[in-house]
């Protein structure tokens, strides 16, 4: 797994969208993971949206990345969590 570094310009702010079942504490999971790798992320940027059926929730968050290793670490850890269905 690795990002195509030539498509990124660091430092940058990138919005992540993470989706999972609404029965999981998605905001807590996302802030825990992102906070490990980007300590200065804007907690006020977090927004939630439920699916039409209410079964899923998406968490959108703006993250300030300074290097590709941060991006890779965040996406890898998000991918490893079973509660997370998809990350964009």
pLDDT tens digits, residue range 35-53? 999 988 888 889 999 999 9
What is the DSSP code (8-state) at residue 15?
Answer: E
Higher-confidence position of 42 and 62: 62
Mean pLDDT of 23-41: 94
What is the DSSP code (8-state) at residue 5?
Answer: G
State both tokens at 74: 């965040």
The answer to whether 26 and 83 have CB atoms below 8 angstroms apart is: yes
Spatial separation of the C-alpha atoms in residues 19 and 27, rounded to whole Å: 10
Which residues fall within 8 angstroms of residue 28, CB to CB, at 6 or more apart?
A: none
């Amino acid at each position: 797994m690795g990002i195509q570094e030539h498509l990124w310009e660091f430092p940058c702010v990138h919005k992540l969208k993470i989706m999972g079942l609404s029965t999981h504490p998605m905001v807590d999971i996302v802030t825990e993971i992102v906070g490990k790798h980007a300590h200065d992320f804007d907690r006020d940027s977090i927004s939630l949206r439920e699916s039409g059926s209410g079964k899923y929730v998406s968490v959108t968050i703006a993250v300030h990345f300074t290097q590709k290793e941060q991006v890779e670490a965040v996406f890898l850890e998000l991918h490893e969590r079973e509660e997370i269905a998809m990350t964009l």
